[in-house]
């Protein structure tokens, strides 16, 4: 027997999605300002490192736009074609951000190496200031997105936070390389180019981690042992549930959908076992806000069966 009705999005889930959208919108505005400033200053000041960092910010801008769109799609309620809801759009956006990071890293590395073999003008000193501002702004932005991403369980928001975290490291590397070039152009003129190349490598490493983590979610990776234990604990607290045979869970956006096999008295009536399955389902949803819904299967308690056979 299975309880399988799919509920609409809860108010708590809608609130989390709205908050994630606000955080992402703020990130888009920040990235738009940083990207345009770095690209312009990098071009005018003849700094490869600053220009490369600006390209990365442009990738951030596009990635944040994907995340925002995905969050709007994820806020749609379940329908006939999507009984589990539209939450996976948020995970897909996180994967897209990872691939975007990878493409950005390749372009940045290629451009930086290409410029090593071209005539180089000495960068202007004012190229430093966009990098200093970027490190400061991105530190706040990354902490904000990581905090909300973990709190809301948003893979896309956490992927975007990783992107911002890379910006901090890449900004420091670009700043160091540019400072070396400005300090001693005669010996370190190529440092600015190598700084851009290092930024590209960091972007590629981050892309690998983002793609790996979001791919796990798309392949229905189980939640951690602590969460599985909490599901079983809540199920066993329901009067009449004698055991939990199997527990599966898969993430669809910000929440998990759970499949649970509970064991009950084999002499229980169909109506009573159905009522118990329903009460267990609602108990888990009420106590665990990261669970969207539960499908409950009812099985006869194995220990009782083995005792009756004797």
Reported as a single tens digit per residue, the pLDDT across 109-157 is 887 787 776 656 677 788 888 888 888 887 888 888 888 777 777 766 7
DSSP helix/strand/coil, 263: strand
Reported as a single tens digit per residue, the pLDDT across 27-74 is 788 778 888 888 888 888 877 777 777 777 776 677 777 777 777 777
Do 21 and 71 touch, CB atoms closer than 8 A? yes
Spatial separation of the C-alpha atoms in residues 250 and 73, rounded to whole Å: 19
Whether the CA torsion 272, 274, 276, 279 is positive or negative: it is negative
Domain ranges of the chain: 2-218, 225-309
Reported as a single tens digit per residue, the pLDDT across 250-274 is 888 778 889 999 999 999 999 999 9
Q: What are the angstrom distances between the C-alpha of 22 and each of 16, 18, 67, 69, 116?
A: 10, 6, 11, 12, 41
DSSP helix/strand/coil, 310: coil
**At a CB cut-off of 8 Å and minimum separation 6, what does 21 contact?**
68, 71, 72, 75
Nearest to 213 by CA among 155, 162, 160, 165: 155
The model carries a pTM of 0.62
pLDDT band, very low/low/confident/very high, at 3 (cuts 50, 70, 90): very low
- CATH top class, domain 225-309: alpha beta
The secondary structure of residue 45, as a DSSP letter, is T
- CATH top class, domain 2-218: mainly alpha
E strands of 147-290, at which residues? 243-252, 255-264
Share of the chain above pLDDT 70, in %: 88
Weakest-pLDDT range from 39-43, 96-100, 186-190:
186-190
């Amino acid at each position: 027997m299975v309880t399988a009705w799919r509920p609409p999005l809860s108010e708590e889930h809608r609130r989390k999605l709205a908050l994630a959208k606000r955080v992402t919108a703020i990130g888009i505005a920040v990235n738009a300002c940083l990207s345009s400033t770095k690209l312009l200053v990098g071009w005018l000041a003849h700094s490869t490192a600053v220009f490369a960092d600006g390209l990365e910010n442009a990738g951030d801008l596009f990635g944040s736009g994907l995340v925002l769109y995905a969050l709007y799609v994820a806020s749609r309620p379940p329908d006939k074609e999507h009984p589990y809801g539209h939450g996976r759009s948020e995970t897909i956006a996180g994967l897209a951000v990872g691939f975007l990071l990878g493409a950005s890293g390749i372009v940045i590395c290629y451009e930086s190496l290409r410029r090593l073999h071209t005539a180089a003008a000495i960068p202007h000193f004012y190229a430093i200031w966009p990098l200093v501002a970027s490190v400061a702004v991105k530190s706040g932005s990354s902490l904000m997105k990581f905090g909300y991403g973990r709190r809301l369980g948003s893979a896309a928001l956490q992927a975007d936070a990783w992107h911002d975290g890379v910006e901090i490291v890449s900004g420091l590397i670009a700043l160091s390389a540019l400072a070396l070039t400005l300090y001693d152009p005669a010996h370190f003129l190529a440092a600015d180019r190598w700084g851009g190349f290092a930024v590209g490598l960091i972007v590629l490493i981050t892309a690998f981690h983002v793609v790996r983590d979001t791919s796990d979610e798309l392949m229905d990776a189980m939640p951690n042992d602590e969460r599985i234990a909490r599901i079983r604990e809540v199920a066993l607290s329901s009067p009449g549930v004698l055991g939990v045979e199997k527990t599966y869970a898969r993430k669809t956006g910000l929440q998990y959908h759970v499949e649970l096999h509970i064991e009950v008295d084999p002499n229980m009536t169909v109506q009573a076992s159905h009522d118990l399955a329903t009460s267990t389902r609602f108990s888990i949803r009420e106590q665990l806000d990261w669970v969207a819904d539960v499908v409950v299967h009812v099985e006869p308690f194995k220990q009782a069966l083995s005792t009756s056979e004797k």
